[in-house]
Structure 1
């Protein structure tokens, strides 16, 4: 390991930082639902018309 400038000891001891998060009303892919057709049995209650967009981190690692 070669360092071009002095680095405090606490910075050398840090490893990868793991995090998880959810971002409501956002999709990183840009995916949007424009049309949706629902079908159900006759006489069933009408479906509510809403879509929930959510980005979830699953596995997010930041190298320090």
Structure 2
């Protein structure tokens, strides 16, 4: 950042910074699935035995 004239630091405004992110293997709420029951026809279950935990930002703005 180059300024043509000196500006006191307390007067310098950069504006809002927008960001989005994903954090795999983590839920910020602390929610964990311990038991899952599938209903359907008898036989081997069609689902895989894993759960994907993911935290995803919706709208995060940092005011600078």
TM range (shorter): 0.7 to 0.9
Cα distance between partner residues in 2 of 1:60 and 1:8: 24
Superposition TM-score, scaled by structure 1 size: 0.74
Cα distance between partner residues in 2 of 1:36 and 1:43: 17
Q: How many residues align?
A: 57
Residues 26-48 of structure 1: per-residue CA shift (max 9 Å, x gap): 00000000111012223465321
Superposition TM-score, scaled by structure 2 size: 0.74
Cα distance between partner residues in 1 of 2:30 and 2:46: 29
